[in-house]
A and B are shown apart, each in its own frame.
Chain A
Amino acid sequence: MSIINNINKLFDHRIRLGIMSVLMVNEFADFNMLKELLGATDGNLASHTKALEKAEYILVEKQFIGRKPNTRYSATKLGKAEFKKHIEALEKLIKKT
């Protein structure tokens, strides 16, 4: 199997890679936490979370904390597995050269 196969196109962007990194080590992260950590704008972050949601790599839950709407994200099993594969592929690529 070629290593290139394991490089996931969906993770080929700084923000999406960042979202997954945060969700690998945190059970949940809400929108504001991600925004602060990644230094992204609302619209930018929303479009990237949507892409990851569509691929079923992350789970989106909308809820209310008091009266404030709150959106929190978590990584799915599939998302975690794909992310691990992606990292391993990256490591192999670096070692190879």
Chain B
Amino acid sequence: MSNEDYLKDISEIKNLMNKSSRFISLSGLSGILAGIYALIGAAIAYYLVMNYSDGTLFIFHGWVFWTCMAVLLMIAVLSAITGIILTTRKAKKNNEKIWDITSRRLLFNFLIPLIVGGLYCMIILNQGRYGQTGGLMLIFYGLALVSASKYSIGDIKYLGYIQIILGLIASYYPGYGFWLWVAGFGIMHIVYGTWMHFKYDTK
């Protein structure tokens, strides 16, 4: 065998290892859109709290609180739907199956930290410790990304690290929790989605 054959072997091995263990059809565009939803949602919450509450960003009560919760839920649902639609489209283009062992494993590893985090945030809210939720959401979302990155495009772990750092800062300075949430879920998603879009989607 010639040198070229060996090189071909190595690249074939790498290719198969990736293809059999990673689901790579995540769409960068869905990240951008998720970021935009988060910014719009944050703007609505900010407006409500400033005009109809006592002006502090992290103490809610009555309908303002519940409207903000509903907005939050809307952002999550819309982001998930957008992600599923765009990812399905991209998987088709890549000839990758949308529901196979790799995507199942990815989803499973992503959802465990996310669901635990979601439940924990609800418990914290129920206890009236509103200031911590921004940071906790960032931390658990970041952990979910790091855990999922082993089964997808490795790059998403860096987004995870950034979210975790922002979350820890937000836990230390709960007063900035809202703005750090905007930075993490809004701006970072847009920056990252754009980067991923140009790195992977425009080829």
Listed in ascending order, the chain A residues whose CB lies under 8 Å from chain B are 12, 14, 17-18, 21-22, 24-26, 29, 33, 37-38, 87, 90-91, 93-94, 97
Chain B CB count within 10 A is highest, among A12, A14, A25, for A25
Q: Which 10 A-B pairs have the closest CB atoms?
A: A21-B16, A25-B21, A22-B20, A21-B13, A25-B17, A90-B6, A21-B17, A97-B3, A18-B16, A94-B6
Counting CB contacts under 8 A, is B101 at the interface?
yes
Q: Which residues from 1 to 52 on chain B have a C-beta closer than 8 Å to any C-beta of chain A? A: 1, 3, 6-7, 9-10, 12-13, 16-17, 19-21
A-B contact pairs, 24 of them (CB 8 A): A14-B12, A17-B9, A18-B12, A18-B13, A18-B16, A21-B12, A21-B17, A21-B20, A22-B16, A22-B20, A25-B17, A25-B20, A26-B20, A26-B101, A29-B20, A33-B101, A37-B16, A37-B20, A87-B10, A90-B6, A90-B10, A91-B10, A93-B3, A94-B6
Query: Chain A's nearest CB lies how many Å from the CB of B56?
Result: 50
The proximity string for B residues 89-105 relative to A, scoring 1 for CB distances below 8 Å and 0 otherwise, is: 00000000000010000
Query: Chain A's nearest CB lies how many Å from the CB of B14?
Result: 8
Contact B19–A37 (Cβ < 8 Å): yes
Q: Give which listed residue, A26, A90, A91, contacts B21 with CB less than 8 A.
A: A26
Contact B21–A94 (Cβ < 8 Å): no
Please measure, in the bound complex, the distance between the C-alpha atom of A22 and the C-alpha atom of B16, giving whole angstroms.
6
Please measure, in the bound complex, the distance between the C-alpha atom of A91 and the C-alpha atom of B20, giving whole angstroms.
22
Q: Give which listed residue, B3, B7, B13, contacts A87 with CB less than 8 A.
A: B13
Nearest neighbor of A34 in chain B, beta-carbon distance: B20
Contact A17–B13 (Cβ < 8 Å): yes
Name the B residues within 8 Å of A12 (CB-CB).
1
